[in-house]
Structure 1
């Protein structure tokens, strides 16, 4: 089978029409980026061959953004030298037509014919399912499905078996398969297929036997428990009676009383020991107080001796400090005189600098005064011009808003007068006599405007009543009168006779305002802040000139003044020397004050402490506590010895912990009583249980259950024997069938090995019952397909499909291979091997390869057809 032309219209992303012709009989390569339309073309081929044209689920084929489209696909192909054409239209106006040579098939007949030719089955309803795809589902690989082989091969297994049967000449017995199916059907009623676990009647028999056995074991356990309870009752009764004779709890209670007595004696010893501890602590505290008082007296004597030496040293230091102070005071007097002389010289130098500055300032003030006088004169002239222009402008100023209203009203009046004039009836007259018009006499030449009904008297001839022909003339006249009144009022308000006079006044006013602004600009140049500010500045400059001149006269004679820098330097040196001398004097003063204060303080402290030592009361108290120290030491030693003896006695009494002993014996007595009571309760409970079980007929029930267990065992053994026989028969039949299938698989195994050696040398592949690859044997290790890497499974998916195509081709089946983005997860070395395999297979089959990596497939020697170019070509 060779595709020659593909035409796609309004199909998913192809809103228009795209035509692919001149397809090669071998390898065809389509390239383009993601979403260019490669997978859409592959899907169009699958849909036109495999999907039912009337299927309602194909609305997703509609062109994007065009809900009213009519998706259609047309393919031309060659089948064993016969020209064929297939066209289908989906969703709306569905149609299907298949032409094979001169024969034309339509609708369902065409689709049945396609299924028979290509090797797939039509779906009864709904979308095409994977199990219906058959040979196309195996050879037409969708994007991302290259590595998936088991399902697609299984769905095409029957077609592959037919092809193998033709090639191998084997007559695979359908009857043998039917026998195997019958045996397995019977076997599956007893054992499951995968785990060989019991099911159906065998599982029920096993469950019944297990339940009966469990019930029997439970009754047997009850019987054993009954016998054990009889023995336990005798033992418990014997123990109860023996314990009642011995009454062990009474002995424990006696021991508890004795232990409690020892505990009370120990508590009495402990209270006596606490009194001794208190007395000992009190004696030690009194002794420590007496010792501390004596220690304080000794330290006071040492302090008096030490401070007497410190006072002598302090007095000697004060004499030395007095001499230092006198020398520092003399130095300060000397440096003060030098500093005063330096300050006088600095003042004279500063006066000389000030005199020079004042002379410069006097010159500047004289220049500034002259400039201000000129500016005041020019500003006065400009100010007069501004005032004159302001007066003239104020005299002719006109209200521009009212002038604009007058211009608007004047225009409206002109139009309304023209309209009124045109609407009025005009009567021109030349009279030799006189007429009366509305009782008014008219004579001579003139024009009579009839703006309202008028009565013209003709004397003896009668009279004429003239009525204006325009119905709204009176309204126009009223409006005209109103506008003329407003016009007159505006002229009076503006003080002009006409609009032209008003506009001339406005132009004159604008000219005077412009002159005023020009003179004001000149005034601002000469006097930015006004003429008064200039006069104030002139007065200020004159005052500063006078003040500077007065200060200059008051300065002393500076002819002998030294340079200012030299005077400053000398004054600074004198001040620094004076400051240093004053600091030394301050230090000497502070040192003298500190020395005198320390000496006086030491003298006062020494006098107070010597008075304390010589105090009569202090001496008497000291003699008393020295005597008391000796007595207290003897008393404390005696108390310590008594405390140690009492503590040893208490330790001996506590050695066996009488409190714990009393508690232990009381607890033992309670336990003994409690155990005897529990024993009595257990005896009553056992008697009750034995009476209940004895009356329930345990032996009879156990015998009946034993008989049922034996019957269930025989049933289970019969079914197990049947299951074993069926399993053995199934195994024999399957082995016979597999040997025949092995002969049948030989052509396929040979083709798989042919392609497999290109990537996996020295390896073999094992096939499953459905003829799909099951395991790959390499280097003596067999791996299932699931254990292989994604890339390896992808490569096996391509190679095995080429082998299946060879098998189908050899058996006369039409073949077409489509690979959508295959070999994506393949390295460069294996990709080259796959390319060689594709080129080899392309000599026997037509292959369509779609890829988004053109650079990886540019060495095939095959023209790459870009999807974008196909779109443009249409």
Structure 2
């Protein structure tokens, strides 16, 4: 049963800001041919929104319905016919969203209206963000948007189920039929009690598992409390035993007596340690005294040796330096002479190059004056050429376009044609002899011919002759007058008196254009670039340069021409002389630097040796001035003897101090005190623990924990058995459901044959001898043409689009058999089809329009203007 759209009204829907109405749609083929950007695709989107998009949704798709930049409410109204009855749907989005459906049984609004639309059109609720065509049922497959038919896609689940129901009788199976529909919902209902749609445990299965886990936790907790009570009795006995041991240890007096003895020993140990420290300090002082005398002896010997060594080094440095002084003086004199000659050569070269530069500037100035004179001459030649070029361009601009000339010629021919028509239909009268007394329309006649184009009265004495020309002559005269007026208006618009004048003007203009090109070439020839004056190529550069020149005379015209060649040779000679002087100076300077480099370390060495000798003498004098130097050996011997005696006393004190170690005694006392403190702390902790255990046992002992643990364990075991039973039931239901689904899928494959047979009658008209192959999802997968099958994705875009339309027609026929509301809408179809296939496809669509309403939305006037009912988007923006 065909769904027939009768009227569509839009307000504030995307580009249709103003109210827009489309009507005049017929039952068969309707063609809407409009240019791009006139709203064809928007019209299809509006129909989808009215039928399938919920009115109260605010997703991205619904928000896109509002015109760009405007906060208004898109509204759609559609009158249509379905199942042989008239329906009306009105839907408003975003602001004050609403929906109303009117049908043979009255009105429905809100959710009831949405449900009524879904039931009527065989669709389901669309919850997607961008619109799901699969949820739109048969119309989701058959309403094809722009570029959506470029790929061959399988139908949605709703269409597949409808097609299966149609083909069940052909394939001889009940899968999907009444028996299957009675069994499958019951299984699905029971399956939903145990599993989610994605196959995850839920419902009774989850409840049984949750109950088993809860009871298992209760049983585990009861067993843990019972075990904790039993462990409390054991911990109480152990704590009481440890308390007895601590009481016995605290009652023992051995550690107290040992501590008392250690306290008595510590005073003796402290006195011995103090004596040892005193002996150690005394021994250290004497050792430092011995070391100081030994250092003084060594330093005195080293100072005397340094005085001797530095005197010898100073004498050697002075001997080495005396032999180099005479050679250094001669080298310095030669270096001075070389510098004087170099300065003279530089002055001579500077004077020669200055003379050469002055002569070069003079020659360049004279060359520039010559170039300036030539530039002025070219400027004088340029001005008349530019005047000629301006005149030629002005004349060339008067050319009349060829289309205008053709129009003038056409109008002139129209005048000639109209004149010939008038002359052919007019009446000719000739007057000869004596014409006195003859009047034409009250005017005296004259001899000769006269052409009569309208009713004329000729009086001959008392008689009157009435001449009536043919009736069509008046219109011929009107045509002639109009043609003359058109010709005259066109000639006046272009300022010419006749077509011949227009042609003559064009000839003169073309000659002027050719002459202008010649003048432009001459201007380019007389305006070359002059780099020496900074003039670029072109007339503007020459004129700008000449305009900036002054009229003063050449100041250097009377000077004598310089001899550049002689000056250049003289400058080159001075360059050579300067080079020789520089070489001599560099050699003398290098020799001087070499001698100075050899002399510098000798000077440094002599100065250092002199300084070292003075320092060594001063240091020796300072050491010898010390009072202990006079009896240094005797003082050193006596200090060593005192040091040995102090060392003996220190060893005796250390042996006494080691026998009574204060730190060791204090550590022993600390150990005894710590042992007592720990024992007392442990006794307090044990008493606290014993009291806690006794209180816990007293509190828990009367609660019957053993009985509770046993009951909880029995309940947990029962819950585990129930979980196993429920799990087995769930697995059984899942296996049964999967088995039914596999059987259904297997049966679905048997539907492919009937679908392929129905589609083949369309496809063979397009591709003779082709055998279509469909997949389990009823989607076209390949085409076999006398050989291996070709995947649809490997075919050309044009063939894919044609096959997509043909398979949709096949499904539409099967849905018609089911009584489903079917309508075919194609937006910009067959864009890649050649002329032959386009004609064939239009024949197929015309034939399909005898069974269902077909609407074509296209911008291709030439390809579709001969088809069906032509509709214009009147009022479209």
Structure 1 length-normalised TM: 0.42
Higher Cα Rg: structure 1 or 2? 1
Structure 2 length-normalised TM: 0.42
